[in-house]
Amino acid sequence: MLTKEVGVPGLLEVYRHPALVELMSAEKRLPYKQGKTRNYWPTENPANRRTKLFETWRTIVAHLGQEIPGASNALQLPPFEAPSWRLKAFEDMLDAVICAWVGICVFEGTVVPFGDDTSAIWIPQSELLASRRGRP
């Protein structure tokens, strides 16, 4: 388990929510889990919840597409009317791509490990990402 520095071979622990917050320079955790839409938007009807979920997914996919060439093409949203199991399958694919992106960030040097000598999670840092992209 890699806890302080990158080495090959190695194993990293990734937390998708903090990675997404940094990817999108968001102020808080993104509401992107399909099974929690009622918690995210309790006053909305099911169709509006799904609309909001799809909006969040589109935004995440667009950001990932800026980081990983071809990601936007690979992450095609399911049809709006798709059953819950298809939404969950898309969500799982999205999670996998987020984890792969964090792995890329590790080798680009845009992550920071949070933990100690025995365990750590690796989270991209928006400031490091911005400097790599040439943004202020």
**pLDDT over 70 at 21, yes or no:** yes
Residue 6 inside a domain? The answer is no
**pLDDT over 70 at 135, yes or no:** no
Residue 118 inside a domain? The answer is yes
Residue 7 inside a domain? The answer is no
- According to DSSP, residue 35 is labeled G
Residue 8 inside a domain? The answer is no
Note down the domain range covering 45: 16-133
Count the neighbouring beta carbons within 10 Å of the beta carbon of residue 12: 17
83 backbone dihedrals φ, ψ, rounded to 5°: -70, 160
Residue 93 inside a domain? The answer is yes
Of 53, 47, 42, nearest in space to 90 by CA: 53
Residue 10 inside a domain? The answer is no
Place of tokens 């169709």: 47
Residue 2 inside a domain? The answer is no
Helix/strand/coil for 99: helix
Domain count, the chain: 1
Give tens-digit pLDDT for 47-63.
999 999 999 999 999 99
Percent of the chain with pLDDT over 70: 93
- According to DSSP, residue 8 is labeled S
In whole angstroms, give the CA distance from residue 45 to residue 63: 28
Give tens-digit pLDDT for 59-104.
999 999 999 999 999 999 999 999 999 999 999 999 999 999 998 8
Residue 33 inside a domain? The answer is yes
